[in-house]
Amino acid sequence: MKKIVLLGATGSIGTQTIDVVNHHRNEFSIIGLSAGHNMKKLSELLEVCPDVKYVCVARKADMEEMQKMYPSLTFFCEDKGLEELASLSDYDIFVNAIVGFRGLLPTLSAIKNQKVIALANKESLVAGGPLVKAALKKYNVPLYPIDSEHSAIFQCLQGSHADEVDKLIITASGGSFRDKTREELKDVTVAQALKHPNWNMGGRITIDSATMMNKGFEVIEAHYLFDVPYDDIDVLVHRESVIHSMVQFHDHAIIAQLGTADMRLPIQYALSYPDRLEMHNAEKFDFMKYPALHFEAANTKRYPLLGLAFEVGRKGGNLGAVMNGADEEAVALFLQEKISFLDIETYVIRAVEAAVYIEHPTLQDLIDADHFGRAFVKDTWKGVVE
């Protein structure tokens, strides 16, 4: 029985993790989880997660109210509570499925606590890649990716050696606006942006998919996860989202991982590795539904944030934290209909250009870089509206 602490339980990845666990109760048990502000959803999850003993919520007022409703549980709150969950002793796997820079510190705490890491929090590697890699090595802790693309690469690499890899090929759907020109993007709406053609995801990640910022983040993640140079990482737009990513080897063989658009597969693989468990209540892949698969190069002129991510990744330092912080704030402004879709790119690029570069940042440097990226976007927007 593997005991799990799950951050981000009320989100898409979190609820699907709970579904996997509940289909394999002889294998897994969730003993701790975090939620943000949705207390109704949290109460529903506690009904289907009978082994939970520890809960973290975003606000102190919610914590006090929930404590009255569930007196037998131990509650934490705010970002400090996430680190306290990660630092618990009586669990085996740490699943980080929260969105944003605030996921970095709990990841580092869980690594220091020598727990197996199942990671869906991109920012842990985008903003803190060198620190996370150093901590994994220091504490001899494994990290298994939950993102479908990185899980696909991880699966393709099984039985191979790192020095046999020629390149990684990360696939991308192209997002909500893949058939629109740059000119047509000027007037797109939030509702249009949230209609992803293939996946059902949260707000920020859906917008990041449309700008391809998300794919840029995945390039940086892949670099840190698999120790592959940026020059050996390609991005292909693959509309069907059937091939989740590929690995090309020195002998020119390419191994691809295929499957339906179901995030429970990479979640379950990360939890059960090196074993494969039966997938319940899921559609099996049917080749007859996909008589043709399509691929095209990801154009960085069409998707400038993808190009920015490659530049930031190659330079490293504190710029990943700046880029991510700026993107979080710019996407939030767009979702609030305060800026246009194309403004997201402008704000993020300008924030990175304005940042003071630190080649070997400390944790505090990364926290400061995150704050800088956010403040730059907020201040820029206020300057425009005022």
| Together in a domain, 118 and 186 | no
Question: Is 246 a member of any domain?
Answer: yes
Return the residue matching tokens 């767009």. 334
| Together in a domain, 92 and 153 | no
Closest CA to 348 of 366, 328, 318: 328
Question: Is 100 a member of any domain?
Answer: yes
Specify whether the CB–CB gap between 185 and 342 falls below 8 A: yes
| Together in a domain, 322 and 353 | yes
The dihedrals phi and psi of 221, each to the nearest 5 degrees, come to: -60, -45
| Together in a domain, 44 and 134 | yes
Which residues of the chain register pLDDT less than 50?
none
* Known binding positions for Mn(2+): 147, 149, 218
Specify whether the CB–CB gap between 372 and 347 falls below 8 A: no
Closest CA to 246 of 174, 159, 170, 144: 170
Return the residue matching tokens 């942006």. 193
* Known binding positions for 1-deoxy-D-xylulose 5-phosphate: 122, 148-149, 173, 196, 209, 214-215, 218
Question: Is 269 a member of any domain?
Answer: no
CATH of the domain at 340: 1.10.1740.10
**Global confidence as pTM:** 0.94
E strand segments, the chain? 2-7, 28-34, 54-57, 74-77, 93-96, 116-119, 143-145, 165-172, 233-237, 243-249, 254-258, 296-297
Instruction: Supply 102's token pair.
Output: 């605030």
User: In this predicted structure, what is the pLDDT of residue 383?
Assistant: 80
Q: What share of the chain is helix, strand, coil (3-state, %, to 5)?
A: 50, 15, 35
Please, which residues bridge with residue 167 across strands? 248
| Together in a domain, 123 and 253 | no
* Known binding positions: 10-13, 36, 38, 121-123, 147-149, 173, 196, 202, 209, 214-215, 218
Question: Is 271 a member of any domain?
Answer: no
Question: Is 182 a member of any domain?
Answer: yes
Centre a 10 Å sphere on the Cβ of residue 171 and count the other Cβ atoms it contains: 28
CATH of the domain at 30: 3.40.50.720
Query: Tens digit of pLDDT for each residue in 247-301?
Result: 999 999 999 999 998 999 999 999 999 999 999 988 899 999 999 999 999 999 9
* Known binding positions for NADPH: 10-13, 36, 38, 121, 123, 202
Domain holding 378, by residue range, is 317-386
Specify whether the CB–CB gap between 322 and 351 falls below 8 A: yes
| Together in a domain, 203 and 330 | no
Query: Tens digit of pLDDT for each residue in 120-147?
Result: 999 999 999 999 999 999 999 999 999 9
User: In this predicted structure, what is the pLDDT of residue 200?
Assistant: 63
| Together in a domain, 16 and 41 | yes
User: In this predicted structure, what is the pLDDT of residue 198?
Assistant: 65
Centre a 10 Å sphere on the Cβ of residue 245 and count the other Cβ atoms it contains: 27
Question: Is 158 a member of any domain?
Answer: yes
| Together in a domain, 190 and 117 | no
| Together in a domain, 173 and 70 | no
Closest CA to 319 of 268, 267, 264, 357: 357
Tell which of 73, 108, 141 closes a domain: 141
Question: Is 270 a member of any domain?
Answer: no
| Together in a domain, 137 and 156 | no
User: In this predicted structure, what is the pLDDT of residue 300?
Assistant: 92
| Together in a domain, 221 and 352 | no
Instruction: Tell me how many domains the chain contains.
Output: 3
Question: Is 306 a member of any domain?
Answer: no
User: In this predicted structure, what is the pLDDT of residue 201?
Assistant: 64
Tell which of 141, 176, 191 closes a domain: 141
| Together in a domain, 61 and 35 | yes
Tell which of 112, 141, 170 closes a domain: 141
